[in-house]
Structure 1
């Protein structure tokens, strides 16, 4: 079972994938996904992944899909060999060479580069916080609704 996106009907493996799909598409493309979130979820941009997932699934159709999603298993461990860009120069190594910017018509603007750099920093901070939680004996899976950044205030992009 999974969810069909209420905007574009794209299949999503679970509530978290649906929340991420809606939010990322809204933030990167705006349009219908952003309008839908504005109409259905108050202050959606301020919610964490789990909170947004709870809100959007109330408006989404649960659907059975003919294929099993790769990441729908219970095991959230990694079975591939790389270090997610840890160590080395910040911002380098977390994406294959050439994927974080393009040349010519498809090149990223300075604003896009700044947003990507901020996303990398926030992701790195979240992963570091999860590592620290795991080392302290807390065996939670990070799905307890806690925001990794602890910040529920505003959007600094405008």
Structure 2
């Protein structure tokens, strides 16, 4: 069981993964994901994955998935953390300067979010 993203239908393991997927895609400039969040959960930018997950899951019914993807599940050598599921860039210069800055900001925000949850 899991949730399909209401925009791109990529399967997510649970509410928290769905929230991380939507927010991360929005922060990386996916206008379709950002627009959907702005419309359905206007205060999404200030929310953590648990509270955002509860809200977005109401728009994405639970589904049974035949295939489980390693980057959307735990138990396959991953920690279950979003930033650990994102492939490491070997030399950010391969990206444009702005894209590199956005990625660095998203990673910092993710670290901050997890640190505040642990306190």
With the length of structure 2 as denominator, give the TM-score of the two structures: 0.71
Cα distance in 2 between the residues matched to 1:101 and 1:148: 32
Q: Closer, same or farther in 2 for the Cα pair 1:113/1:148, shift >3 Å? A: farther
Deviation at 1:36, TM superposition (A): 1.1
Q: Aligned partners of 1:19 and 1:65: how far apart in 2?
A: 18
Q: Does the CA-based 8 Å contact 1:16-1:50 persist in structure 2?
A: yes
Number of aligned positions between the proteins: 111
Tell me which of 96, 99, 108 is aligned to 1:108: 96
1:121 CA displacement: 3.7
Aligned Cα root-mean-square deviation (Å): 3.1
**What is the DSSP-based 3-state SS (H/G/I as helix, E as strand, rest coil) of the residue aligned with 2:88?**
coil
C-alpha change, 1:9 and 1:120, in structure 2 (3 Å) is closer
* Residues 16 and 53, structure 1, Cα contact 8 Å, conserved in 2: yes
- Inter-CA distance 62–29: structure 2 relative to 1 (3 Å threshold): same
Which is helix-richer, 1 or 2? 2
Larger relative contact order (Cα-Cα within 8 Å, sequence gap ≥ 6): 2
Equivalent residue number for residue 66 of structure 1: 66
Aligned to 1:15: 15
Q: What pairs up with 1:1-158 in 2 under 5 angstroms?
A: 1-70=1-70, 71-73=73-75, 95=88, 97-98=90-91, 100-102=92-94, 107-109=95-97, 111-125=98-112, 129=115, 147-148=116-117
Q: 1:5·1:12 contact (CA, 8 Å) conserved in 2?
A: yes
> Which of 1 and 2 has greater Rg?
1
Residue deviations 1:84-118, cap 9 Å, x none?
8xxxxxxxxx93533x331xxxx312x33333333
Is this contact kept in 1: 2:15–2:54, CA < 8 A?
A: yes
Runs of 4+ in 1 over 6 A off after TM superposition: none
- Given the superposition, is the C-alpha separation of residues 118 and 33 from structure 1 closer, same or farther in structure 2, using an over 3 Å criterion? closer
TM-score (normalised: structure 1): 0.56
